[in-house]
Amino acid sequence: MPLPERVERGLVVGKFCPLHRGHERLIDFAASRCRALLVISWSQPGFAGYSAARRERWLRARFPQATIAVLDDARLAALCEQHGLPPRVLPRDDDSEQAQRDFTAWLCLHLFGGPVQAVFTGEDYGDGFAAALAGHFNAPVQHQRLERTCDVGQASGTQLRADPHTHRQSLSAEVYAAYVQRVAFIGGESTGKTTLARVLA
């Protein structure tokens, strides 16, 4: 089956707490189907240990070709000031779907370069999301869905936050490295411990 024609701009939205391989498959899927990809992330009130800066580092390391926007209230306020806009705050995670969609459309239109032509998700909600954006943009927005059959065995965000080490196969090496605080080398004399330590450092 031929791939659909690439759209000009695509959008992926998520919390990425943490960024896992399921998310990465979705972002790769989106990147292959649009000429420019915008990835937006926020979580309010968020999760301890998953700051905007930490999530942004992961996304930029894994997807340097995409436009990455990871927001908290301080970052959003700075962007509003930079664009000469009144200050806003992020929607809360338990706000309505409509509030989240309206806010995403506002971000695209006022802070991140205008409308997108497609949204990419792995969920049924994407149809309604695309329709809501199309209403704000007064232009069609496709929903392109990635079927999640390839995500069998993928740990959930909740599982990964509870125990990233047990579920480390669900994380890329760059993301998992952020959880490794101490490494010990054990071995006899002249077995390469110093060389290994220097390389890993």
User: What is the full per-residue pLDDT of the chain (201 aa) written as tens digits?
Assistant: 556 689 999 999 999 999 999 999 999 999 999 999 999 999 999 999 999 999 999 999 999 999 999 999 999 999 999 999 999 999 999 999 999 999 999 999 999 999 999 999 998 899 999 999 999 999 999 999 998 776 668 999 999 999 999 999 999 999 999 998 777 778 788 788 788 888 876
Beta bridge partners of 9: 36
H helices of the chain, in order, are 21-31, 52-62, 73-82, 97-110, 126-137, 157-162, 173-176, 193-200
What pLDDT was estimated at residue 1? 53
- Residue 148, pLDDT score: 74
Burial of 153 (0-12, 13-18, 19+ CB in 10 A): exposed
- Helix 126-137 crosses helix 97-110 at what angle (to 10 degrees)? 50
